[in-house]
Structure 1
């Protein structure tokens, strides 16, 4: 749809929805961005990827939220308490929060949020047809002890959650968009179509979604949050999301002013826009600024190492020395410099990425490029100079083709023969979950800001396909530390536990940490106060747009 037609639609929508004096059309502030991958649902219960999470974050709120420094702060709960035994969480709700106006309510006016709404919203997550968050609820105590109610509304403004066992990261989990509040009226009214008719409490209200074409959100005039000067948030009048799939077309639209931002290193040609140091080239710096931020994301190559699985029994990857040799067999620094335009940091520590409290290269010592170590380890494994070492197949998706071929070439120089097989994302995901591949390229993005989320990939009770331990790594000592860390409330002790666990993963080598990614955004200078955070959440409630001087 042409740019001006879309702006006309938004302007008309703003005009019709205004309930105070109408500002001039030129004063409208609309933030526009592109989502190449498209959006599949606006139901927070289905906010499983950034494409969905970003708009959902504008539409919904939860009990608590994460600030840009990854601190858990109050959300719809103005205060909360945790029992001494760490099992009972009590939340006291604000009394000034209303659901968006919507036909699902009597008279079309949104009503006040109460504790029963949270009981309804959280109970709804147990339905696997509704949400993929069911595993996050496994620690909720729904036994006879709580009268089979893990979630309780003690009164209209008090909500209680009871856990089976203490879990130090629980508040961080509650910042995930799965745990947003929704009204039962909207589910009764829209039923399965709630995914495209969202009703929440957030700073923006749903207006229009033409799947594959555009999404329009309007300012929520009744939003509860204010700035330090007591001015109502948000500042923007609207948010517009487009779904241009072609990268070059989207980049031209950014240059032409249709978009205010492009996000992600894959969203534009980094070699064109960034210099060899990963900074914005002067030719683009006049019009844009570059946001680069630590991202809680580790890109890695995984190994399936469970010898009870037939394809592992005779695989050289069952041998720790071979896995360690592969870790030493290529240059991570060159990979970042030449293939990623210095976006990201080479993974010379553990699996836990930069940005987490336990990240410390002095405490967790990872791998570096060393042909000498490769030779030493191959000989130890019984393959001197690679003699007798079978060829290994590494599986990846097309967007990582250059990276895995770079690794393949360097390993070949060190007498480790790798065959690369490029698969469709759905095929790779299913095959890895089903233990069909012994070597595969994947990444892990933190679901919440706690090291536990990254270490959960190596816990033996999380074996795939039910869990995320795709390697079938099994180490009782690791498991014991993992379980201890979950209930440890002393931050320093917990950090030390995670550092020991991370070093253990490096030494056992069920994975090859490649690099710690970065959030990268190319933003027009007229956009002000666009926050950036290691969770890569898009928060537009405090964003402003100023007129460009000509």
Structure 2
């Protein structure tokens, strides 16, 4: 998902106080913005893309039935004109807006909704987001490769679709606002085949007009977008292959507007302490956890005592210092501001001596050799080296595999390839502000699948059932929060992760572009809401 400091996984942060962004509705359209990235984009297919870099791009190319008010986590109808929910919470009826168009000029119908949701949940698609839709009737059969689609989705007429859930689910409306629920045209998907991620056709505020791999992507304003006056900019250009330090120099020289990889760690203090940038630096809170995964299906991490030993071996305070204290040490999957966070839980203390004893108890008195995968954007390789040094203190030799983000993600999605992964550059930010989101994709059985994001390959069927039961508590928020709290405490007993830190996000923009601060650290369009930012001269 997607943050400016560590770059993070597809996710969602909370706007300060939940206030609406001050969108300048009167700002005239026009102008362009240049965004820089070091690595190329893996895909723009909304069923597949799930990292911080492509998340905001996909948001601008595609829409779903639901969306969010800009700069907030406040839900709104997007392609839906109306949304009705049955008294028992299991039947959702959506009526589409009139005249909403795909980029190819065709009007969207209810059949497109059914096709898109069945495509993302079809096992052959290998979508990392398929598990989000597990509450829709027929999902289990369809996900097992049986039947013919999702039985819970019915097209009533060209504008109306009815979605029946197998159980009440407090997260369903948020799920309908995820990128994975984006509506796509069947004919474009079938025409492009596996290349749809390079030839995206959606209904979003921008359409892609150019993609030169490794060099540049160009988005241009979609003239027939269903929201009048959106987007503000005529064009967004993404320059690829730029080291973050070079990207900062480009911004300083007026050749770039947003360094997509964030303020380079080596220059962070220099930039934030420079009064010249006071009005260009934006800070935003986020529901984020950076963690180390241990593949529970690969020896020796199939031994819980080994995993606990690694938890005790990592010096989290030192890692936080390495990133200029832009985070706090973590001791559980949930970040402190998320409902369900266990404030009284102490976690595993940093204790190398106890870690060595635990390894000996597990049958590894002399340690072992393993591999630690890491994204190759600073400061992640340096953090991996710190983890490597910590592990060496307890006799564990970790060989570092520093790779491009897409390669690390691919390795994590294979059951027997990556023994350990430092998630920095892909660290989890909640897709929506609910404790369940830190479970299904990254700790639940549904995420432990080829191409998935459960890189620990951790699957506890009892916890899966308890998670489903918790999400069915639609009328008792306090009981639901307590249920999730206990689920995460029980996960820490199995120790599939080393939670390392919860970070704050900082970004920087040039004086050529403007907009409410929340748009540059948008909680949904991580890292930037391209749709509502406008040219500075328009102010």
**TM superposition score category, shorter chain reference:** 0.7 to 0.9
Q: Specify the SS of the correspondent of 2:469.
A: helix
Q: Specify the SS of the correspondent of 2:272.
A: coil
Structure 2 unaligned spans of 5+: 1-27
Deviation per CA, 1:212-253: give whole Å up to 9, x if none: 333222223333325xxxxx2222222222113333332222
Greater share of residues in helix: 1
Asked if residue 397 in structure 1 is aligned to residue 377 in structure 2, the reply is no
Aligned to 1:418: 396
Shift of 1:336: 1.2
Q: TM (normalized to structure 2)?
A: 0.78
Structure 1 unaligned spans of 5+: 1-25, 103-109, 227-231
CA distance in 2, matches of 1:129, 1:91: 27
CA contact (8 A) 2:304 2:495 kept: no
Shift of 1:495: 1.6
Q: Specify the SS of the correspondent of 2:532.
A: coil
Aligned pairs, how many? 489
CA contact (8 A) 2:314 2:390 kept: yes
CA contact (8 A) 1:301 1:441 kept: yes
Largest Rg, 1 or 2: 1
CA distance in 1, matches of 2:293, 2:45: 32
Q: Specify the SS of the correspondent of 2:318.
A: helix
Shift of 1:280: 0.8
Asked if residue 69 in structure 1 is aligned to residue 72 in structure 2, the reply is yes
CA distance in 1, matches of 2:443, 2:249: 43
CA distance in 2, matches of 1:246, 1:178: 30
CA distance in 2, matches of 1:198, 1:411: 43
**Alpha-carbon spacing, 1:182–1:323, altered in 2? closer, same or farther (3 Å):** closer
CA distance in 2, matches of 1:152, 1:294: 39
Asked if residue 351 in structure 1 is aligned to residue 333 in structure 2, the reply is yes
Q: Match for 1:298 among 267, 270, 289?
A: 289
Aligned to 1:430: 411
Asked if residue 341 in structure 1 is aligned to residue 324 in structure 2, the reply is yes
Q: TM (normalized to structure 1)?
A: 0.76
CA contact (8 A) 2:29 2:233 kept: no
Shift of 1:64: 0.4
**Alpha-carbon spacing, 1:548–1:350, altered in 2? closer, same or farther (3 Å):** same
Q: Specify the SS of the correspondent of 1:494.
A: helix
CA distance in 2, matches of 1:478, 1:188: 38
Q: Match for 1:182 among 184, 201, 216?
A: 184
Tell which deviates more after alignment, 45-54 or 56-65. Answer: 45-54
Aligned to 2:478: 492
Q: Match for 2:40 among 38, 41, 47?
A: 38
Q: Residues 432-471 of structure 1: matches in 2 within 5 Å?
A: 433-435=414-416, 439-442=420-423, 444-446=427-429, 448-449=431-432, 450-456=434-440, 457-459=442-444, 463=448, 469-471=454-456
CA distance in 1, matches of 2:247, 2:390: 34
**Alpha-carbon spacing, 1:123–1:366, altered in 2? closer, same or farther (3 Å):** same
**Alpha-carbon spacing, 1:161–1:424, altered in 2? closer, same or farther (3 Å):** same
Asked if residue 406 in structure 1 is aligned to residue 386 in structure 2, the reply is yes
Shift of 1:365: 3.3
CA contact (8 A) 1:175 1:448 kept: no
Aligned to 1:47: 49
Aligned to 1:114: 109
Considering Cα pairs closer than 8 Å and 6+ residues apart, tell me whether 1 or 2 has the greater RCO.
2
Q: Residues 108-507 of structure 1: matches in 2 within 5 Å?
A: 110-126=105-121, 132=127, 133-142=129-138, 149-187=151-189, 194-226=196-228, 232-265=229-262, 268-274=263-269, 280-282=272-274, 284-285=276-277, 289-305=280-296, 311-312=299-300, 318=303, 320=305, 323-337=307-321, 339-347=322-330, 349-359=331-341, 362-369=343-350, 371=351, 374-375=352-353, 388-391=365-368, 393=370, 395-397=372-374, 399=376, 400-410=380-390, 416-423=394-401, 425=403, 426=407, 430=411, 433-435=414-416, 439-442=420-423, 444-446=427-429, 448-449=431-432, 450-456=434-440, 457-459=442-444, 463=448, 469-471=454-456, 473=458, 478-489=463-474, 490-507=476-493
